[in-house]
Each structure stands twice: as C-alpha cells, then as structure tokens.
Amino acid sequence: MEALVQRLLQGERRALARLLTYVENEVEGVEAALAALFPHTGKAWVIGITGAPGTGKSSLVNALAKAFREREKTIAIIAVDPTSPFTGGAILGDRIRMRDLSGDDGVFIRSMATRGSLGGLARATRDAIRVMDAAGFDIILVETVGAGQSEVDIVRTAHTTLVVEAPGLGDDVQAIKAGILEIADVLVVNKADRPGALNTVKSLNAMLRMGHPASRTQLVAHHGRLLEVEALTSNTHEAMWIPPIVQTVAIEGKGIDKLLDAIHKHREHLQQDNLFAALERTHIEVELYERLREALLANLLRNISQDAIQTLIQRIQTRELDPQGAVQELLQTQQMKA
C-alpha cells in the first residue's frame, strides 16, 4: 500500500487506477493510504454534473474536458452509473461519449457503479476524488445520474455544481419534479439545437424568479450555513449567487466557452469573502458527522449479536416493545457492559 501511494504521487497511472479500485472495494489498509494522501489534497477544483438520464451529461463532460485541456488544465473524470439492484452488476457506458479524450495523458477517466448504499457511494466518491486530487489533476469532473438523494450527496463534495436539462424530456422542466434547482450553481440547457430549448430556458428562468424568496432560502441552506454566518453581515448582494442559465450543444461544442465562463465566475464568487473556506468547512462538517455516525453504528453492532437483534424485532412485532424503547434498551445494556 505504501509503495502504491509513492507510485501515485510520482504520477504513475496504473497506481492511480489500482488505488481507485481499493477505495471502491474498501480493501483493508486503504484508510492508511488515504491518510497518507490527504496532505496532498485540496488543490483540485471539483465540478459536479448532474441531471436526468440522457440529457447529455457525458457529452458535456467530453466537451468541457476538451475545453479545459485547451487551457492547459489536467482533468480527471468520475462517471457514475447505477448498479442493477437485482444482479449487483452494472453497465458503465459513459466512456462512449468521451472518445475525444483518448490518447491524452492529461486526462484520466474512471467509471464507477453506485453499488450498495447511498452513503457508501458518497464515501467512495469523496475518497476517489481525493485520490485523483492527490495525483495532481487540476480539475475533477464528477458525472452522476440525477435521481434524488445521490446527486445531493455528490454535490456535497463538489465546488461547482452543474444541473443539466434538455428540451423534449417531458412537459415540464425535469428540475421541478426532482427539486434539483436549489443544488445548481449553473443551469445548463443542453441540446439547444433541439426544438423547445428556448421554452426550457424560459421555464427555468421563471422558476428562478418566481421561486425567488423560497429558492433563495434554499440556496442559502444548501450552500451551507456559510451565508448565515459569514456573508450576510458584510455584503449580501455580492454573496448571493443566482445560478446563470447557459445553453449548449455538447455534441458540437457550442456554448462551451460560455459555460466555462460561468464556472469560472462561480469560482471567483466563492473565492471572494472567504466563501470557499466556509464551503469547505461545511463539506468537512457534513463528512465528519457521516463518518462518525457510520463508525459508531459499526462499533455498536460489533458488540450485539444477530440473535439479540432478531429477538428485539420479534418483541417489537408482538407489540411488547416499541422501536424507540428497543433502541434505548439496547443502548442501556451496552453501557452496562462497558
């Protein structure tokens, strides 16, 4: 493991690929590797790209990565696709749209399946991002299918989040249903060559304006307690970020410069007034609580037999005990043992 870390820090791509596998598989000893890599992280800009299936996320990643490469930035990409809940297998097909990026040592693409739990995906993604960050990539693009909680979890690790829409995916803008608007830093209307693109832009615009007070509080809530604590006192106007709407045709590279501009502006926005530091603090806080919760639970369950749990379930089912009472009883017996 130590040798692998050294090889990664020296830029060896196979070491990077192998460490990503270890992270995903939760191989024993990977924590030590992550700890050794941690001081080398914190340099990359992480961009999350989410949206409904088929909106053109991978094509957009392809176009964005090309544009960043023209600006001499190195790019790592994590493309997440769902695991089949029935077989545990997955088809990871995002690379199909990223062929323009082959043969370039400044690009590294990794496909990831969602595997088991949502919490597990968030942890694996965070760790994978760190491994890539430590490997020295300037920009990390993370593509996830927009399907509820998972993209919100991913967003907690990104610095700039793009929400991708496309015309013709249904009557309404997809975002309304998914409640995805509040996690967007930049709204992308891709497939702008298709009929209906302007309508999509209009409805997004209307939503941004109409839902102003509401979406604003949500924005504040999402971007962390940071606005409450830091910015409101100084300059509310500057601290407020209203997501711009950018139209693109990913497969033709159209609108990509504007999108890059919008990403750049968002980055500048975060860098003023210490917003970035506050955002990072929020990310760390969220992660710390998540890891703590997981570790405490694992710790507790180590000392409790399956039989004891099954007995409790039985007692709850027969209405002898209520669920919260069961938890209390468990915790008490554990404390007495300790």
Partner 1 sequence: MNRKIRVLIAKPGLDGHDRGAKVIARALRDAGYEVIYTGLRQTPIMIAEAALQEDVDVVGLSILSGAHMALVPRIREEMDKAGLQDVPIMVGGIIPDEDRAALQEMGVHGIFGPGTLTEEIVEYIENAVKAQSE
Q: What is the four-CA torsion angle of 153, 177, 222, 53, rounded to 10 degrees?
A: 40
Cα gap 8→132, rounded to integer Å = 9
Pick the closer one to partner 1 by CB: 68 or 108: 108
Instruction: Write down the least CB distance from residue 9 to ligand GTP, Å.
Output: 32
Distance in angstroms (rounded) separating the CA atoms of residues 215 and 318: 45
CA 308 from centre of chain: 37
Q: Considering the complex, state which of residue 157 and residue 174 has its C-beta at the smaller distance from ligand GTP.
A: 174
Q: Which residues in this chain contact partner 1 in the complex, by CB under 8 A?
A: 13-14, 17-18, 20-21, 24-28, 83-84, 87-93, 95-96, 99, 102-103, 108-111, 113, 115-116
Element holding 265 (H helix, E strand): helix 256-271
Burial grade of 170 (CB within 10 A; 0-12, 13-18, 19 or more): exposed
Q: What phi, psi does 311 have (nearest 5°)? A: -60, -45
List the single partner that 156 binds among ligand GTP, partner 1, Mg ion, none, CB under 5 to 8 Å by kind.
none
In 3D, which of 171, 192, 169 has the Cα closest to residue 258? 192
Q: How many CA atoms lie within 13 A of 265 on its CB side?
A: 17
Which residue number is nearest to Mg ion in terms of Cβ?
58
Interacting partner of 145 out of partner 1, Mg ion, ligand GTP, none (Cβ under 5 to 8 A depending on kind): ligand GTP
Bridge partner residues of 161 (DSSP): 48
Stretch that binds ligand GTP, among 49-57, 102-110, 171-179, 308-316 (CB under 6 A): 49-57
42 counts as binding ligand GTP under rule CB under 6 A? no
Considering only 23, 44, 55, 58, the residue that binds Mg ion (CB under 5 A) is 58
Question: 251 touches which of ligand GTP, partner 1, Mg ion, none (CB within 5 to 8 A by kind)?
Answer: ligand GTP
Q: Which of 94, 153, 182, 230 binds Mg ion (CB under 5 A)?
A: 94
Residues in touch with ligand GTP (CB under 6 A)? 53-59, 94, 97, 145, 190-191, 193-194, 249-251
